Chain A
Amino acid sequence: MIATETFKPLVLAQAKARKVEPRLIVVKHPIGGLNADELRERIEAATRGLTEATSK
């Protein structure tokens, strides 16, 4: 799951309520409102996070 750092507490609180442990990739906030150049950094970070999380 990809979430921004700002929404990490929400994801963790909801996961705790459901007694699940999500595999979380955290990127900088925000996502919405970014133009294509700004979004590129989030894509890089999320892809890096995904590669790390799935190679373990």
Chain B
Amino acid sequence: MRIVNPSFGLSATTAEKVALKPVNWATDAIALVSNSKPNARELLAGIRDKLGATRMIDNIDFLSKNSASQPAPADVIEKVAANYRGALLAIAD
């Protein structure tokens, strides 16, 4: 008996690798991006404070989604890509 696969679909994602520039986590500008769930920002703030013991933190900035339930807006993603070499995302529950 031949059946149709109910999960069949053509992948819309290309397997192309994005070329990443190397990040120097000891000096480069870093974005701390919260998903806007409770404690996500507090978690990132705690990490930022701890990093202060070993590096300058004036160029470590907080960014966040507008709402925990919605995707990050394009302007936030563009801002991260344009201004920071590294990003740390907190996906709090």
Do the two chains bind?
A: yes
Which B residues between 71 and 93 are near A, CB-CB below 8 angstroms? 88-93
Task: Give the number of A-B contacts (CB < 8 Å).
Answer: 67
Using A39-B43, A43-B50 as known contacts, list a sample of 5 further A-B pairs with CB atoms less than 8 Å apart, ordered by residue number in A. Answer: A1-B91, A29-B93, A31-B38, A31-B90, A47-B47
With CB as the reference atom, state the residue of chain B lying closest to A55.
B25
Q: How many residues of A contact B (CB 8 A)?
A: 27
Query: What 1/0 mask marks residues of chain A from 19 to 56 whose CB sits below 8 Å from any chain B CB?
Result: 11000000001111110100110111011001000100
Candidates B38, B50, B89, B93; contact of A1 at CB < 8 Å: B89
Q: Which 7 A-B pairs have the closest CB atoms?
A: A43-B46, A54-B25, A31-B92, A47-B50, A32-B38, A1-B89, A3-B91
Query: What 1/0 mask marks residues of chain B from 38 to 65 whose CB sits below 8 Å from any chain A CB?
Result: 1110110011001100000000000000
B46, A2: Cβ atoms closer than 8 Å: no
A43, B37: Cβ atoms closer than 8 Å: no
B14, A19: Cβ atoms closer than 8 Å: yes
